[in-house]
């Protein structure tokens, strides 16, 4: 039975489709020989050239996190992929972080953005458990050119501690990017509710709650390609237009981007990598999106967010 079914597959379509879906892997090679080919051996899909066709804003990048993602590496890889701007941040991944440490992380991002203003735009981070210090840090960072907020799992996005921060970013007309988790279920067991390891990690229901409370706010749900239940996430966010989804993460599951488009529309998806650059780019190129939709996701959608606060690219 398997042999008979296999004979019905159009081999040329299989080769072409496989080459496109493997974009993230192929892009990583600098060797000219690493190109998808037709049966005759001639190049059929030039990944690098395809990537360079589109203007790009990477809406989720970390700098000097976990001792990796050094500035020179980020510049090199963005040159090769044609990423025009990288929205960078350095959030704290430890449970307890002081306001002084937060300021040091933000200073690092500010320094990088000042050294390479043609490539990087800085996003601040906070620990909202410190309300007074957080509001002061927001003012300091905005005054020196940072846009938006990136936070990790110190406090859930819908915790009352976040309310004054959300209200401040509504006034600033800037987006809040929050680390998010939504584990897959097995046999009816929804592991996304098993948050013993990270009890304050935000899950999709938390985003819906804050989006309903603050419909004028803008919330970016991080990395649907991060290994979570992206189908559940997209279905849940369908009726909440102020929740935007970034496509970052190292997972390249088939149909992820097309599924997200179906449920969220072409205006609420952001190109992002979360430092998995080739995977993040390849999954967009390998999708069934048309040219207009690819241009929106790669560049225009996030640029429209920046436009709200007057920080858009021309």
- Quick one: 18 and 100 in the same domain? no
Taking the C-alpha atoms of residue 116 and residue 79, their distance in angstroms, rounded to an integer, is 13
**Lowest-confidence range among 55-59, 207-211, 235-239, 250-254?**
250-254
Structure tokens given for 264? 């969220």
Over 43-98, what HEC string results? ECCCHHHHHCCCCCEEEEEECCCCCCCCHHHHHHHHHHHCCCEEEEECCCCCCCCC
Domain closes at, from 32, 51, 70: 51
- Quick one: 32 and 74 in the same domain? no
Domain with residue 250: its CATH number is 3.20.20.140
Structure tokens given for 47? 């990944």
Q: Is there a contact between 260 and 289 (Cβ–Cβ < 8 Å)?
A: no
- Quick one: 295 and 178 in the same domain? yes
- Quick one: 25 and 87 in the same domain? no
- Quick one: 63 and 19 in the same domain? no
**254-272 confidence digits (pLDDT tens):** 899 999 999 999 999 999 9
* CA diameter of the chain: 68
- Quick one: 37 and 72 in the same domain? no
By DSSP bridging, strand 189-190 and strand 185-186 are antiparallel
In a domain, 212, yes or no: yes
- Quick one: 40 and 167 in the same domain? no
Distances (CA, A) of 58 to 45, 123, 292, 300: 23, 12, 18, 11
- Quick one: 47 and 82 in the same domain? no
Query: Could you give the number of structural domains in the chain?
Result: 2
- Quick one: 45 and 113 in the same domain? no
Q: What is the pLDDT of residue 187?
A: 54
In a domain, 314, yes or no: no
Domain of 3, in residue numbers: 1-51
- Quick one: 195 and 89 in the same domain? yes
In a domain, 313, yes or no: no
**40-92 confidence digits (pLDDT tens):** 555 566 777 899 999 999 999 999 876 667 899 999 999 999 999 999 999 98
Q: Higher model confidence: residue 23 or residue 39?
A: 39
Report the chain's mean pLDDT, rounded to a whole number.
85
- Quick one: 26 and 67 in the same domain? no
DSSP E strand stretches across 110-253? 120-122, 149-151, 176-178, 185-186, 189-190, 219-221, 243-246
In a domain, 35, yes or no: yes
């Amino acid at each position: 039975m398997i042999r008979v079914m296999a004979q019905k597959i159009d081999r040329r379509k299989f080769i072409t489709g496989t080459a496109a879906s493997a974009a993230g892997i192929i892009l990583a090679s600098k060797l000219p020989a690493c190109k998808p080919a037709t049966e005759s051996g001639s190049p059929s899909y030039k990944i690098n050239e395809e990537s360079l066709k589109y203007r790009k804003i990477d809406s989720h990048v970390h700098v000097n996190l976990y001792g990796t993602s050094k500035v020179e590496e980020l510049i090199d890889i963005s040159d090769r992929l044609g990423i025009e701007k990288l929205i960078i941040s350095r959030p704290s991944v430890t449970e307890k972080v002081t306001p002084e440490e937060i300021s040091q992380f933000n200073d690092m991002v500010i320094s990088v953005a000042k050294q390479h203003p043609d490539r990087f735009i800085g996003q601040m981070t906070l620990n909202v458990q410190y309300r007074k210090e957080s509001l002061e840090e927001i003012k300091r960072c905005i005054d020196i050119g940072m846009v938006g907020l990136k936070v990790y799992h110190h406090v859930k996005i819908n915790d009352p501690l976040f309310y004054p921060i959300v209200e401040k970013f509504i006034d600033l007309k800037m987006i809040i990017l929050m680390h998010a988790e939504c584990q897959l279920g097995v046999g009816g067991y929804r592991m996304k509710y098993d948050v013993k390891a990270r009890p304050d990690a935000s899950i999709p229901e938390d985003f819906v709650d804050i989006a309903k409370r603050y419909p004028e706010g803008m919330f970016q749900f991080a990395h649907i390609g991060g290994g979570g239940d992206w189908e559940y996430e997209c279905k849940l966010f369908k009726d909440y237009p102020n929740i935007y989804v970034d496509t970052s993460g190292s997972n390249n599951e088939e149909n992820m981007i097309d599924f997200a488009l179906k449920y969220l529309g072409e205006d609420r998806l952001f190109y992002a990598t979360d430092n998995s650059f080739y995977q993040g780019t390849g999954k967009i190129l390998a999708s069934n999106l048309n040219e207009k939709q690819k241009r929106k996701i790669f560049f225009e959608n996030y640029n429209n967010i920046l436009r709200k606060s007057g920080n858009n690219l021309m």
